[in-house]
């Protein structure tokens, strides 16, 4: 008989309590550098999801009326707790996700910025007032919370993306049910515990774990008013359709194929360094990774230097000092990326740098792929069409800037892009003509800070309002207009026509 190993279980957060799931379905959370099983994550039952939503529904009745200052102070405390626990959070994240410790701190930090922003909710959730819209009549707006909102997050930023969602939803007066990625839920749970410690009341934040079934229950649940999703285009499109049909507000931030245009007048070494970081950092598992380099004109002669620099990057476990490229999140991800590289070769691209099977002393079981570069890539090839989500850079050539812009605008995805140049005129032309959400000018991964909103064009986004920033205040609130008049005295003679007379 097999004895159950003493592996910790990931808890659910329901009604302010960390509880053990009663499910029979569990999945291992695995360290991608070592294959060590770190924990077991439950696939919550329908009853548990219902309990989380019921708790959020009850909590909403009081939370929605909690004074702005009280809500804001929780996030002031929360940002402090995240800072104090940064090293621990990064260590958990690296262990379950694989990225380097520095990158893991970056992951937490970009989420922390949204928490800081949430602490300023008093200034963000203001309504508008128009005085004397008619004689003695004023109209004003209220931005009122919706109720129970839900978030569904991907594996690649297990700290930042949950923090994109629940702090702003809660700060605006909603309650929340979060469904983190089942691949790396541990850092998300630690962040949820810190939120409780900061003073988020019972039921205001709930966390359930699981996969497709939990997501579908969230989409269908009649008491959930809004769903924020971040993940692949395939799943996001499904979530958008299903939750919209159930009458919810939905925003889905989805897949990508991000191109960088390199003009021959760009600062060469700076450009190549930026390109390497953006293509291979976090093992290419960023929705904003630059996975296609479009070398324009003479810049195509830079390919040998690009390959030579990429060869100097260190592939190793994320906990090891000096690591540039950590492991992919799972064995399945390793198989997927390896088979796409094979297809690239079979379909005729030139494999200028093959990162498969790197030798990583002490981590022989890790899911490693080193920096990989293909040139001669064409839009018909699988490596161009699919989001590889690994450390694989496709190099294409374009004769002119306009040809490069045309190529990018013809791609179904429009998440991020960048141009490297010294020409202001070329950069201006690019930003004007390109149909992509996040645009960088000599900035490789232009993720906007929280006073703006993350966005996306075409297949990279569904729903018109983005996560965080001003847009998310709109997303998580319902605008109510109030038109009011106060009588000075009890007027004589009533009229049946109650429309306001414009004088
Ligand atoms: P994923 O779509 O596989 O998973 C996202 C979430 O959906 C997870 O919580 C998962 O449990 C759930 N899910 C998975 N399969 C499902 C199904 N069949 N039905 C319902 N729910 C399901 O994405 P991932 O692999 O975790 O993350 C990588 C993807 O996320 C990439 O495509 C990346 O570009 C994208 N991403 C986009 C952004 C953005 O802002 N645009 C940011 C980060 C990641």
Residue 287 near residue 253, CB atoms below 8 Å: yes
Helices (H), 348-453: 382-385, 401-410, 424-433
CA-closest candidate to residue 112, choices 73, 68, 75: 75
* Gap between the Cα atoms of 74 and 200, Å rounded: 7
Helical ranges in 172-315 per DSSP H: 186-198, 212-220, 233-245, 268-280, 303-311
Give residue 316's Cα distance to chain centre: 25
How far apart are the C-alpha atoms of 300 and 376, rounded to whole Å? 11
Q: What is the mean pLDDT of each run of 10 residues along the chain (503 residues)?
A: 75 98 98 98 98 98 97 98 98 98 98 98 96 97 98 98 98 98 98 98 98 98 98 98 98 98 98 97 97 98 98 98 98 98 98 97 97 98 98 98 98 97 98 97 96 95 95 98 91 60 49
Nearest atom within ligand 1 for CA of residue 216: 20
Distance 389 CA to ligand 1 centre (A): 12
Residue 474 burial (C-beta neighbours within 10 Å; 0-12, 13-18, 19+): middle
Taking the CA of residue 287 as reference, the ligand 1 atom at the shortest distance is 34
Beta bridge partners of 393: 373
**φ, ψ for residue 115, nearest 5 deg:** -65, -45
Tell me, using a 6 A CB cutoff, whether residue 460 lines ligand 1.
yes
Q: Are 349 and 381 in contact (CB under 8 A)?
A: yes
Enzyme catalytic residues: 287
Task: Show the tokens assigned to 437.
Answer: 């959400």
Pocket-testing residue among 235, 336, 455, ligand 1, by greatest number of atoms within 8 A of Cβ: 235
Cα–Cα distance list, 138 to 130, 478, 481, 484, 497 (Å): 6, 20, 10, 5, 19
Atom 42 of ligand 1, nearest CA residue:
287
Q: Is the CB of 415 under 6 A from ligand 1?
A: yes
Quote the CA–CA distance of 366 and 360 in Å, as a whole number.
Answer: 8
Name which of 485, 437, 444, 428 is nearest 463 in CA terms: 437
Sort residue 112 into left (φ over 0), alpha (ψ -120 to 50) or beta: alpha
**d(CA 236, ligand 1 centre) in Å:** 7
Give me 123's structure tokens.
Answer: 């200034």
Question: Going along 10-116, which residue ranges are E strands?
Answer: 12-14, 17-19, 26-30, 37-42
Q: What is the pLDDT of residue 503?
A: 45
pLDDT at 2: 52
d(CA 470, CA 149): 17
Paired residues of 37 in beta bridges: 30
Ligand 1: does its nearest atom lie under 6 Å from the Cβ of 459?
Answer: no
Neighbours of 378 (CB within 10 A): 12
CA dist., res. 219 & res. 126, Å (int):
30
Q: Which atom of ligand 1 is nearest to the CA of 181?
A: 9
């Amino acid at each position: 008989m097999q004895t159950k190993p003493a592996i910790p279980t990931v808890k659910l957060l329901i009604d302010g309590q960390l509880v053990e799931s009663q499910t029979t379905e569990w999945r291992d959370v695995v360290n991608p550098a070592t294959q060590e099983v770190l924990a077991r994550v439950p696939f919550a039952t329908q009853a548990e999801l219902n309990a989380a939503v019921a708790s959020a529904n009850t909590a909403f009745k009081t939370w929605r009326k909690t004074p702005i200052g009280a809500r804001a102070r929780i996030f002031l405390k929360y940002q402090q707790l995240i800072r104090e626990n940064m090293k621990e959070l990064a260590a958990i994240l690296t262990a379950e996700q694989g990225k380097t410790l520095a990158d893991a701190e970056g992951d937490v930090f970009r989420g922390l910025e949204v928490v800081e922003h949430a602490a300023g909710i008093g200034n963000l959730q203001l309504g508008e007032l128009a005085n004397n819209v008619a004689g003695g009549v004023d109209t004003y707006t209220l931005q009122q919370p919706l109720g129970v909102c839900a978030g569904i997050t991907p594996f690649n930023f297990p700290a930042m993306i949950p923090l994109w969602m629940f702090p702003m939803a809660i700060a605006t007066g909603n309650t929340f049910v979060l469904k983190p990625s089942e691949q790396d839920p541990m850092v998300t749970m630690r962040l949820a515990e810190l939120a409780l410690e900061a003073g988020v009341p019972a039921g205001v934040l709930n966390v359930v774990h699981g996969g497709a079934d939990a997501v579908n229950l969230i989409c269908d649940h009649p008491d959930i008013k809004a769903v924020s999703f971040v993940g692949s285009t395939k799943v996001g499109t499904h979530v958008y359709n299903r939750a919209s049909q159930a009458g919810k507000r939905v925003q889905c931030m989805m897949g990508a194929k991000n191109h960088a245009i390199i003009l021959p007048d760009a600062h060469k070494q700076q450009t190549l360094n930026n390109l390497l970081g953006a293509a291979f950092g976090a093992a290419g598992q960023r929705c904003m990774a630059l996975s296609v380099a479009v070398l324009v004109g003479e810049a195509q002669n830079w390919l040998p230097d690009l390959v030579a620099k990429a060869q100097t990057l260190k592939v190793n476990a994320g906990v090891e000092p000096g690591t540039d490229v950590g492991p992919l999140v799972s064995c399945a991800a390793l198989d997927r990326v390896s088979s796409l590289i094979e297809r690239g070769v079979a379909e005729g691209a030139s494999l200028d740098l093959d990162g498969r099977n790197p030798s990583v002393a002490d981590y022989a079981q890790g899911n490693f792929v080193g920096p990989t570069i293909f040139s001669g890539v064409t839009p018909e090839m699988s490596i161009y069409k699919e989001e590889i989500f690994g450390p694989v850079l496709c190099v294409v050539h374009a004769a002119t800037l306009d040809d490069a812009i045309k190529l990018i605008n013809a791609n179904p995805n429009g998440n991020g892009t960048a141009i490297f140049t010294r020409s202001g005129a070329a950069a201006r032309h690019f930003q004007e003509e390109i149909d992509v959400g996040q645009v960088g000018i000599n900035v490789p991964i232009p993720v906007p800070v929280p006073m703006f909103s993350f966005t996306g064009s075409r297949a990279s986004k569904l729903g018109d309002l983005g996560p965080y920033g001003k847009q998310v205040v709109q997303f998580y609130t319902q605008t109510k207009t109030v038109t009011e008049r106060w009588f000075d005295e009890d007027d004589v003679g009533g009229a049946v026509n109650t429309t306001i007379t414009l004088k």
